[in-house]
Amino acid sequence: MSKMAFQRAARTDKGVSAVANLVSLKLAPLENLTELVNEHLPKQIRMFGVKRVAASFNSKNSCDARTYIYILPTYAFCPVEEITSESYRVSSEILQLAKDVSSEYLGSHNFHNFTSGLVIAIVRGVASRDTIQQAYNADKILDMLSPTRTSAQAILKAVVTTTSTILQESTSAEQKEESNDADDNEPSKKKFKDDTTTEVESSIETTSTTTTHVRQRALKKRKVCVSFGYCGAGYFGLQRNAKDKVHRTIEDELVEAFVKVDAIPQTHADDMSKMAFQRAARTDKGVSAVANLVSLKLAPLENLTELVNEHLPKQIRMFGVKRVAASFNSKNSCDARTYIYILPTYAFCPVEEITSESYRVSSEILQLAKDVSSEYLGSHNFHNFTSGKKFTDPSARRHMFSIDIADPYIRENVEFTTITIKGQSFMLHQIRKMISLVIAIVRGVASRDTIQQAYNADKIDIPKAPPLGLVLQKLHYDRYDKKFGHDGQHEALTWAEVESEITTFKENVIIPHIVKREISDKSMLAYLERLIVHSFSPMDSEIDWRLSLPYQIVFQKVRTKMNPTYVFMAFFRSDAFTL
């Protein structure tokens, strides 16, 4: 079933029913699929409908809440000192008591003690009124309705103690908990133990000294997320390939640091699936990140952040670690991602003007860039902004929440601006191609309606802007924070407590590197030189819109940027003239 990405929203046990459950999977979109499937189902199982969902949708992890009902006869609330029978009719006082007791479940609590009906036990008088509050603590509360205890024992003890206490004595068999919850999306139900417990093995008393041998228990690994930032210079992107010892990546440094501080064993570094490793956003060669995030299982060492940073180069910093829910996945649980792209404003210089580092963008040109970029907002098919995606591929459709272009600022006598893009998710090279098309339109190298044309099925040639200015700014986990951020066991993934440290790293490491490299390498100028070669027209079209431009304008642009040989080749390849 993994081949079709099958995932159920909620698991139900033997004998449990569902009014409306849900599964996500990949299948052929047949016409009248619901009717066809129901013909092959028994009457007690019905399919109600099918809907197309986003590629990142997961019926379990994307579910915000679940509603269950429990149907029971009211004699379940019959006081224990009365005779229980089907003829029992619940009084309004008893019913109100049941409501009051059940209301104590509202809010966020630790439910490690809950495996069956405690409300019934309290209302009947088999358990004391404050048992629910006691059950939220670390102590293990015996289950009064467990099959390992007979009903006669429970009732007899409850009556003798005037139905106000819980039976305390137990055997080792009685202390085993059941695990019959209907929902498999709750945090892992495990007994409470200190993560860093040590065990005293023996104590031998001698005439002069007392020797104590202490054996350190192996630390239990926990599901955590790690926030870290990096400058991508000198690395072959973020993603690690354990078998590739030549091309160093950011994850190589991070994973090796975890091994050095004994947060993970070497076997997990060699096979990262053993520690459930998952990155939130993959960045390419030369791309930086202010705050990326990975989820994995590791030993919760004290001062882990400081220990790891001692083994990391200065251009990579770990900002913090937080325990997360067992179902958390840094990629699938992420609601949105924010990127920034830092570029010199001469990238917006009109094609008929001479482009140089002394250029200063006007308010009219900057407004034009904002108007053009706003056409990306909303949901569109971005198959033309990546590689290897067809127009019919559902995963090519992405949603952009916001796009902003900041006011210009001067660094090293060159004017820069920052474009901020927040989207649900991005494909390979998508942002760089989005930036490239905005530049081409503002400069006059591409027509004004090219963005709208790119959303259609025709394949359009859009080059990539340089990777230097692209930076992953922020990851958004709004749904996770709402569900788990205040449950008493986990923290919200906002990282407000290290915000100043993250900002300092951005201002002192990432931005100065981008500015310095742009001025020295002139990657944007080199990109602008090649921009005229691209037609930004459908590849199968016989019309090249550039032929409508005045010859002098195109030639002036190419002549000021390229040598004579390349001038000839550029015009020849673009069919601007024939011999």
Q: Is the pLDDT of residue 422 over 90?
A: yes
Proportion of the chain above pLDDT 90, given as a percent = 54
* Residues 267-288, mean pLDDT to the nearest whole number: 93
Q: What ranges in 191-303 are assigned the alpha helix state H?
A: 250-260, 266-270
Q: Is the pLDDT of residue 365 over 50?
A: yes
Q: Is the pLDDT of residue 571 over 50?
A: no
- Extract the tokens encoding 224: 């955590």
- Extract the tokens encoding 42: 């028994």
Helix (H, G, I), strand (E, B), or coil: what is residue 23?
strand
- Extract the tokens encoding 426: 């991005």
Phi/psi-derived region of residue 319, left when phi > 0, alpha when psi is between -120 and 50, beta in every other case: alpha
Q: Which CB contacts under 8 angstroms, 24+ apart, belong to 74-83? A: 76/117, 76/120, 76/124, 77/120, 77/123, 77/124, 78/124, 79/124, 79/125, 79/163, 80/124, 80/125, 80/126, 80/155, 80/158, 80/159, 80/163, 81/125, 81/159, 81/163
Quote the CA–CA distance of 139 and 130 in Å, as a whole number: 14
Task: Name which of 346, 504, 367 is nearest 410 in CA terms.
Answer: 346
Please tell me the predicted confidence (pLDDT) of residue 115.
52
Domains 1-69 and 222-323 share a fold: yes
Q: pLDDT tier at 100 (50, 70, 90 boundaries)?
A: confident
User: Which residues are paired to 472 by β-bridges?
Assistant: 289, 339
User: Which residues are paired to 320 by β-bridges?
Assistant: 227
The model's pLDDT over 508-562, given as tens digits with 9 standing for 90+, comes to: 999 999 999 999 999 999 999 999 888 888 876 555 544 444 444 454 455 454 4
The model's pLDDT over 26-54, given as tens digits with 9 standing for 90+, comes to: 988 888 889 889 989 998 999 999 998 88
CATH topology of domain 222-323: Alpha-Beta Plaits (3.30.70)
The better pLDDT of the pair 564, 511 is held by 511
The model's pLDDT over 220-249, given as tens digits with 9 standing for 90+, comes to: 788 999 999 999 999 999 999 888 888 999
Q: Is the pLDDT of residue 563 over 70?
A: no
Quote the CA–CA distance of 295 and 325 in Å, as a whole number: 10
- The answer to whether 301 and 251 have CB atoms below 8 angstroms apart is no
Q: How many CA atoms lie within 13 A of 471 on its CB side?
A: 27
* Residues 196-213, mean pLDDT to the nearest whole number: 39
Quote the CA–CA distance of 377 and 413 in Å, as a whole number: 33
Q: Match domain 336-573 to its CATH number in 3.30.1370.10, 3.40.50.10490, 1.10.760.10, 3.30.70.660.
A: 3.30.70.660
Quote the CA–CA distance of 576 and 32 in Å, as a whole number: 53
Please tell me the predicted confidence (pLDDT) of residue 121.
81
Highest-scoring range by mean pLDDT, 180-194, 250-264, 483-497, 553-567: 250-264
Please tell me the predicted confidence (pLDDT) of residue 554.
52
Quote the CA–CA distance of 387 and 393 in Å, as a whole number: 12
Quote the CA–CA distance of 309 and 311 in Å, as a whole number: 5
Q: Is the pLDDT of residue 211 over 60?
A: no
Q: Is the pLDDT of residue 1 over 90?
A: no
Q: pLDDT tier at 183 (50, 70, 90 boundaries)?
A: very low
Please tell me the predicted confidence (pLDDT) of residue 417.
98
- SS3 string, 216-247, reads ECCCCCEEEEEEEEECCCCCCCCCCCCCCCCC
Quote the CA–CA distance of 55 and 57 in Å, as a whole number: 6
Task: Name which of 147, 184, 138, 181 is nearest 10 in CA terms.
Answer: 184
Q: Is the pLDDT of residue 569 over 90?
A: no
Q: Is the pLDDT of residue 166 over 60?
A: no
The better pLDDT of the pair 103, 426 is held by 426
* Residues 405-413, mean pLDDT to the nearest whole number: 96
Please tell me the predicted confidence (pLDDT) of residue 568.
43
Q: pLDDT tier at 377 (50, 70, 90 boundaries)?
A: very high
Which H or E run contains 205?
A: strand 198-205
Out of 181, 184, 284, 487, the active site residue is 284
Q: Say how far residue 187 (Cα) sits from the centre of its chain.
A: 18
Q: pLDDT tier at 151 (50, 70, 90 boundaries)?
A: very low
Domain residue spans of the chain: 1-69, 75-168, 222-323, 336-573
Sequence-ordered list of residues with C-beta below 8 angstroms from that of 497, at least 6 positions apart, any chain: 320
Q: CA angle at residue 487 from 338 to 195, to 5 degrees?
A: 100
* Residues 102-126, mean pLDDT to the nearest whole number: 77
Highest-scoring range by mean pLDDT, 43-52, 161-170, 196-205, 343-352: 343-352
- The answer to whether 242 and 271 have CB atoms below 8 angstroms apart is yes
- Extract the tokens encoding 431: 């942002």
Mean pLDDT score of the chain: 82
Q: Quick check: is 184 catalytic?
A: no
The better pLDDT of the pair 348, 15 is held by 348
CATH topology of domain 1-69: Alpha-Beta Plaits (3.30.70)
Q: In whole angstroms, how far apart are CA 172 and each of 112, 176, 177, 285?
A: 18, 7, 11, 57
Q: Other CB atoms closer than 10 Å to residue 549's CB: what's the count?
A: 16
Please tell me the predicted confidence (pLDDT) of residue 229.
97
* Share of the chain residues as helix, strand and coil, in percent rounded to the nearest 5: 30, 15, 50
Q: Is the pLDDT of residue 205 over 50?
A: no
Q: In whole angstroms, how far apart are CA 534 and each of 437, 440, 462, 480?
A: 11, 10, 7, 43
**Is the pTM here over 0.85, yes or no?**
no
Q: pLDDT tier at 493 (50, 70, 90 boundaries)?
A: very high
